[in-house]
Structure 1
Amino acid sequence: MTAEERHNRRYLPRFTLGLGLVALTALVLLAFILVPRLRMEEHTLVSPIEVTGVPKGYIVARQSHTRAKIRVVGLPADLAHIELLRLQVDLPDQPALDGSYPVTPHLEGAPPMEVLEVNPPEVHIRLAKSVKRDIPVQVRIEGKPAPGFRLGKVTVTPSLALASGPSEVLEGVKAIRTTIVSVSDATAPLSIKVPAENADEDLLTLCPELFTVRVQVEEIHATRRLPGIPITTGTDEPRRIAVTPETVNIEVTGPARLVEKLKAGTGISAVIDTRELKAGIYVRRAAITLPEGVDLINASPELFTVTIPDS
């Protein structure tokens, strides 16, 4: 055996052991790198876009996109807090009134994750001066009251709303309309608080946000003439008494639902009380009784001749 062979035999085990340790270390490092990568997951979410840096006295009048789709990759535990990821458009110190700006992901407070894509990557923004103006409020009424009732006066408080928003939007607004107030089958006055209907993509801010609407619902009144109502002397009068004329014609008024149903002998009576009268001839008025809610306009004739015979 030569000297070289003896040298190789002596140092070969050491070299092999060293090479094995290096390989093992490399495998461990590779595992630390690849195993988490193998556990990585990709998520997609839609997030609102926040615009920052709007100059004082201005407002965002138009924004091409208010939300963006974002694809991220990260560990499952980190992706559980994906809602902490925010999307922003950071305007420069002196932004153009009309321009496009990149959408930037902000990971402040969020666990580490990699952003793969933001779609759309930029948004178009138009700025306008912010102004305030009082605008009349209009009430939207829908439906009809119950039969026999009609719509009366409608009021809204306040009658003016202080609106603030882009000048180009406010210029075209002539009135602020409330949401629908239904009066379907109503039989009594209504008082309700309602908001304004959504308009102009919520670009306007209103003060107040709620308006008090009062709606008068009135009964429809009718007038009716009822002829030939019999004159009686009451059930407690045993004597045979003559009344001339024997009937009275009356004119009444009241809610149409009541007046239209009136009939002689049904809630209507014309009575001359003769219980305290002795035999003789008298001129008396008849007491006319009507259903509650119905009023007498006139009666013809007003006076009657009452003849009470001797017993």
Structure 2
Amino acid sequence: MTGDLLGAISAWLRAALTQNLGLKALSLAFALGLFVYQKGQQDQQQRTVPVGVVMRLPTENAKRELMTPIPASIHVTLKGSTRAIDQLLQAGVAPVEIDLRDGQRGSVVFETRMFTLPPDIEITIIDPPSIDLEWQDVVTRQIPLQASITGKPADGYILKGEPEVDPKEMTVRGPVGLVEVIQYVRLAAFDVSGLTEGTYRRPIAIDAPPNRVSYIGPRSATVTATIARRVSEARFPKRSIEVVGVPNAVVTPRQVDVSVIGPPEVVRALRAEQVVPRIDLTKIEGIDLKTHGSISVKVVVEVAEAEAEVQPPTVTVKW
């Protein structure tokens, strides 16, 4: 009984191993392939890495400026085996190159063919997938130079008029949208602290241009500032004219208006009786005061440390 059972088992095993060998070999190969595939799938991974961006821009002669800021790198998600991705990162991912030399492209679309990768690595995501581009023409304009003043002159003195700049204009080059809004090319401030009466000339540095804009020419300009005494003005209306040299002379008009201009402390202390318009006929050559006559003559007002203006400046004297 036991011998028959062993014989049956042996016969079954012999049949199982020898019958349908082709089908069994195919099944074994399929099983091995499935195992290898599953093992490979378990080793696959995705990794996001930065990839540099290299731009080839138009030459200066093209007179085109790219206004859109382009990132130094974009992010690319890679899919492949851990070993392949590690080897790629160790060797370094080649940057993607963008040819913008024509200065006309409206956008850049990143495609997988633009990247240099091993065949066993694929790209699944590119971020950003595209970039819109803005261009402007590059123009050249002449822009006025503008000086500024800092500090205060010495007591009793003021800046007379506006500072003068030489040269008066600067050549400015850049994108049309930036150049057209520049009203002045500014200079560093001219310091007048403690200055007294006189004319002062200094080379003053020109401020740095805005981003994307360049200045063509010298990096400094000569600024001239004039310092004068601080003055005040006082009016003394209807002051009677005093005639020297002929008694009972007739003056037309007999009164004039006088404006005195000078240091504030001098003008403030001046009284009306000190402002005397005079005509000295004895100092006029070519007239005979012993006979009747008439003459148009300038009225003089003498004020110490100040100047006087008379209206009208001349009158007629008869004697």
TM-score range, shorter chain: 0.3 to 0.5
Larger Rg: 2
Q: Scaled by the length of structure 2, what TM-score is found?
A: 0.41
Larger helix percent: 2
Larger strand percent: 1
Q: Scaled by the length of structure 1, what TM-score is found?
A: 0.42
